[in-house]
Amino acid sequence: MAAAWKAAGLTYNRYLAVAARAVRRSLKEGPRLAAERRGQMELRFAKWENGKQGDVKPLSQAAQVIAQSESK
């Protein structure tokens, strides 16, 4: 017998994300806000040249710059 998430066509990671969202939404206001903040993440990156780290930038900002340069 296959797992319900697999039978529904979900990957295990997607199933976990859906379950976590359902749990967060069922919490009372205070704990819900704290749980939602824990779920948010921001990726950052830095370019290294000659063994030195460059400026650390959010990945979302870099994606916007790339999108703008491609649209020109």
List CB contacts of 44: < 8 A, sequence separation 6 or more: 56, 57, 58, 59
pLDDT of 72 > 70? The answer is: no
pLDDT of 4 > 80? The answer is: yes
Report pLDDT digits (tens) over 21-43: 898 889 899 888 888 777 677 78
* Share in percent of the chain as helix, strand, coil (round to 5): 60, 20, 20
Residue 50 is encoded by which pair of tokens? 């000659």
List CB contacts of 20: < 8 A, sequence separation 6 or more: 39
pLDDT of residue 50: 94
Model's pTM, two decimal places? 0.47
